Chains A and B, each alone.
Chain A
Amino acid sequence: MRGAGMGAKAIRYSPWVMHFNAGACNGCDIEVLAALTPFFDPERLGVKLAPNPRHADVIIVTGALNKKAAERLRRLYDQTPSPKFVIACGACAISGGVFTDSYPVISRADKVVPVDVYVPGCPPRPEAIIYGIKKLLDKLGGHLESSAR
């Protein structure tokens, strides 16, 4: 995993998540939004929504990535300081979903930026999104396990 090391350890207790809609149908976006509210309470894992790419540790990408949004995603990724991780959220960001053969879409987030965790679903449930973030934290060196000891 890229960026793993001392820097990655630094974010494992409190990753700041930025959400970028790269041509999604809003389905994933409202679920990401729902996942970040108290009903599902990701703050128990230290997860917080970052408004700005320069503050973010994790980028959640949703949507089928049309060409214009893909350029933006690349720019946002370059603006995010290392260590940085990407979660591809939803069927569209993973493989294009129903938009696979459409002319304006690139249809895979990993063609534009390196992706660490894939969360499938159309759209994924908020629990699944939090589980995806948790998986990422586990990869960074055991989040809850290490704190429980």
Chain B
Amino acid sequence: MVIVEIPIGPQHPALHEPIMLKVKTDGEEVVEVAVTTGYNHRGIEKLLEKNSWIRGMYIAGRVCGICNAVHTQTYVQGVEKLMGVEPTPRANYIRTMVMELERIHSHMLICAVMAEIVGFDTLFMLMMRDRERVMYLKELITGSRVHADIHVLGGVKRDVDEVRRARILDELRKIEERLKYYKKVYESDYTLIRRLSEVGRISKSDAIRLSVVGPTLRASGVKSDVRFDDPYAAYSEIPFNVEYRDEGDSWARMMVRLDEALESVNIVRYTVEKLPQGPAVPKTIPRAAKPGEVISRVEAPRGELLYHIVSTGGSNPYRVKIRTPSFLNILNTESTYLGHRLADVPVIFASYDPCISCTERVVVVDEKSGRKAYVSLKELARGG
């Protein structure tokens, strides 16, 4: 049989972000997948070096619009460690609240997109409708639907008052009800189960070997969650379960996300009900950091997010290295497509909850020889 190469992307109805999958097929069967990136590189690490600590917060948030509060949290908690400031307990609770709301809307978004990819448009539309409730809550707390920008060094920008707390609890009740319904749909719908289960399976040992993170790892039976293993913000005080499953296929990954979203509803409810008294908005904001370096880890909706921040003193960071969860989840899992049909490629790809804007870290352009050479991230990761 002739092997045909089919490019999927960078503009493709099944992918909402610019990435290119070069899929080689033998008939319907996929024999090779190569991920081509570089459509979303924005030079953020360099920008962070050029700008001050405070401007850096906003740039870090704009690494990814879906998990922006998580990125800001990772950056801010690292910088706070360098500057020697501690956020107040109330500020920590509000940060946790925003981050968990973000997790709910992120997981709802990918479950909706997955439904759209398998052709279940009604579920997509319904989930997007109910996701608006979460966006409304984010707007209620932070003032913006998407980019929260609620962090400041040493606290948060706005407090949550009694009126808002009552409204959040009321909305959460409705969101929880809908999420339980969607979980039931994903558990029982024939089409979804047939399209998702046994597709793109990663075994437990493979998941560890490929160093995937987040729901992708937990769906393969590994109970690993930074919120639990290395608590930050207010997570050490909040009771919650780490959701995991043993199946390891695309369906399990979606189920882990829905379970986690339900768990996040409980976390938000806890933070709203047990919000500590005291100030949340700091009076003064520090400007300069001491020399030193810090590694800061946060569980983003897609998995472990890591910032390595180096300071030589002064008002700017010396170096900020960002390692995002999608980087590992997309680029290390090229092998999981093999042997499946072409129609399963978008399903498997979406089941990793790809966030391309997070992934685009390294693209080498050789300007000297006058020609652009896009070195693949994987080669670079191997030291190529």
Contact = CB atoms under 8 A, between A and B. Distances in A.
Interface of A: 18-31, 33-34, 37-39, 51-53, 63-64, 66, 68-69, 72, 76, 97-99, 101-105, 122-123, 125
Contacts of A76: 11
Given A29-B17, A123-B146, A72 B39 contact: yes
A26 B357 contact: yes
A142 B128 CA distance: 30
Given A28-B65, A72-B11, A103-B46, A22 B146 contact: no
Contacts of B12: 51
B41 A68 contact: yes
B278 interface: no
Given A51-B13, A53-B11, A22 B18 contact: yes
B47 A102 contact: yes
Main secondary structure of the interface of B (DSSP, over half): loop
Given A30-B146, A52-B13, A102-B47, A23 B135 contact: no
Q: Which 3 A-B pairs have the closest CB atoms?
A: A27-B65, A51-B13, A26-B65
Nearest to A69: B39
B65 A25 contact: yes
Nearest to B66: A26
A39 to B, nearest CB: 5
Contacts of B356: 21, 26
Nearest to B124: A37
A43 to B, nearest CB: 11
A37 B129 contact: yes
A38 B131 CA distance: 12
Nearest to A126: B145
Interface stretch (B24-32, B56-64, B237-245): B56-64
A82 to B, nearest CB: 19
A133 B131 CA distance: 23
Contacts of B131: 34
A102 B185 CA distance: 44
Nearest to B15: A21
Interface string B26-55: 000000000000111111101100100000
B68 interface: yes
Contacts of B59: 98
Contact of A23 (B42, B128, B132, B147): B42
B338 interface: no
A72 to B, nearest CB: 6
B13 A30 contact: no
A51 B42 CA distance: 25
A69 B43 contact: no
Contact of B46 (A39, A72, A102): A102
A26 B355 contact: yes
26 contacts: A19-B16, A21-B18, A21-B40, A23-B40, A23-B42, A23-B357, A24-B357, A25-B64, A25-B357, A26-B355, A27-B147, A29-B65, A34-B128, A34-B135, A39-B128, A52-B13, A68-B374, A98-B58, A98-B62, A99-B44, A102-B43, A103-B43, A103-B46, A104-B41, A104-B42, A125-B145
Contacts of A125: 145
Given A33-B128, A51-B13, A98-B47, A25 B62 contact: yes
Nearest to A103: B43
Given A39-B128, A69-B18, A123-B147, A23 B41 contact: yes
A72 B39 CA distance: 9
B10 interface: yes
Contacts of A98: 47, 58-59, 62
Given A20-B11, A38-B125, A39-B128, A99 B43 contact: yes
B16 A68 contact: no
Interface in B126-142: 128-129, 131-132, 135
B363 interface: yes
A38 B109 CA distance: 15
A122 B47 CA distance: 18
A121 to B, nearest CB: 10
Contacts of B11: 18, 20, 53, 72, 76
Contacts of A123: 65, 145-147
A26 B43 CA distance: 16
Interface string B349-384: 000000111001001000000000010000000000
A102 B11 CA distance: 23
Contacts of B128: 33-34, 37-39
